[in-house]
Amino acid sequence: MSVNANEKLDALNSWDANWSGLRVLVAGLGLSGFSAADTLIELGAVVTVLDGRDDELNRQRGETLKIVGAHEVLLGAAHVAHLPQIDGQAPELVIASPGWNPRHPVIAEAAEAGIAVWSDIELAWRVQNRAGRTAPKWLVITGTNGKTTTVGMTEAILQAQGLKAIAVGNVGTPILDAVRDPVEYDVFAVELSSFQLHYTHSISPVASVVLNIAEDHVDWHDGFENYKAAKAKIYERTQVAAIFNAEEPVTISMVEDADVIEGCRAIGFTTNTPSISMVGVVEGLLVDRAYLDDRRNSAVELIALNEISEIVPRHTAANAAAASALTRAYGVDPEAVLKGLSGFDAGAHRIQAVARKNDVLWINDSKATNPHAADASLAAFTKVIWIAGGLSKGVDYHELIAKHAQRLSSVLLIGTDIQSLRSALAEKAPEVPVFDITAQSIADDGTAPSGTQVMTRAVRKAAELAVAGDTVLMAPAAASMDQFTSYAQRGNAFISAVGDLMDSDSSDQDSNNKQQ
């Protein structure tokens, strides 16, 4: 990209800048891509939209964008092999949806040509500045696990303070939709994935946090070091508080290496007793030793952990501490933290108690899509029948299995990409019985079972194995796309299967009572 092109993009730092005629390629027609394309069309840019999937949903979205003024919509695999031109010229800007990694031919060609690649987050940061409106402040959150819960807690606390706040980014409302909303928000609680951060270059949040770091998405980033580097970008240009996990030294080093705004503080969070300038836990209470004058000798009580939820595993306490640290950096009162966290509903699929019968607890944690998340789930229970497996994304399971082998009663494998998990179990937990439910469910004619069928059989097998005191934990430590459309569908399949099991048991009991 030429110097003039760079200067042109540098000048595009508000809604009221001259976006007219800018040639933009939007790569991806999911929620964020559609929102980015719609925004850029409204701004007067010449927008071409590209997606490798030519399905009904994308055709509908494409037709909508054509109606509002898209220059061209290109759908299908043939269109994503090369960087397309716009009116016979190269794009001046590419907006990359999260699924498009840097080695994708379109993105790689753009980078080689010196064309800027932005995320929808980068675009939102620029266009939120608009004459006659006050831009919202940003509190930004990333990490391998816990992002969605923490951003929801952050939103709840901010709203409890009476602020106009909304959770955006990698969760809920696309951020550009919130920017264009007639509501003038005070604060955005922004969940950022490593994919989005990779293509984000200039945001300057009030406060930022990396919740944790573990091996994940190494295929997308072409290595763990690149993944960590993308996460670390969240701290750049932070204004008030760069918040780190005091129990994970790598996040401390990220803060130390970040180029923050002068005066920005490093604030820690922990599930242990907090040191000065930390938020942490003392005798079941979440307390603040960071945002008060006499932090050397005193602390502010925020909330008792048992007021957050009936089950508060360690990672939930960590998420609450991080959300408290973020919102206190913005200036919310302790009372708002109490009100926001005590009324917070984490929603389905996150260590969700589904049933308890005959002293057997059934837990749905389908959101545990990698070993780090499953580690938190397994650590919350003593004696576990573990339903695990799925799309592994190239991660290693040996450390996870070694850590929790003693609490595993048996393991039921449900995925199609389970060789690495099976190998780790054989090496680190050889005494634990392992049942490959997917393999056992293949029909005589070789027909592969559906994910729902496999889950139903896993639940039934777990019921056969369970004894009083067991927890049946569905925390797959893998993505869901090998057998399900999403982790939510996988979780719902588990909930449904457990419900059917409970109903069946009740029917059997009723029948026995009648016979007696």
Tokens of 406: 């003693």
Tokens of 200: 């984000």
CA distances from 191 to 234, 244, 277 (A): 11, 16, 24
**Residue 465 one-letter amino acid:** L
Residues that constitute the known binding site: 143-149
The three-class DSSP label of residue 391 is strand
Contacts (Cβ under 8 Å, ≥6 apart) of 372: 144, 145, 212, 214, 215, 216
Query: Quick one: 292 exposed, middle or buried, by C-beta within 10 A (0-12, 13-18, 19+)?
Result: middle
Tell the residue number behind the tokens 């039934």, with chain if given: 460
Distance CA 174, CA 288 (A): 32
DSSP per position, 227-295: HHHHHHGGGTT--SEEEEETT-HHHHHHHHH--PPTTPEEEEE-SS---TTEEEEETTEEEESSSSTTT
The 3 state secondary structure assigned to 476-495 is: CCCECCCCCCCHHHHHHHHH
How many H-runs (helices) and E-runs (strands) does the chain carry?
19, 20
**Residue 370 one-letter amino acid:** N
Distance CA 383, CA 397 (A): 19
Residues that constitute the known binding site for ATP: 143-149
Rg (C-alpha) for the chain, rounded Å, is 24
The three-class DSSP label of residue 397 is coil
Let me know the angle formed at the C-alpha of 27 by 21 and 29, rounded to the nearest 5 degrees. Answer: 105
The three-class DSSP label of residue 412 is strand
Distance CA 127, CA 16 (A): 8
Distance of CA 163 to the CA centre of its chain: 24
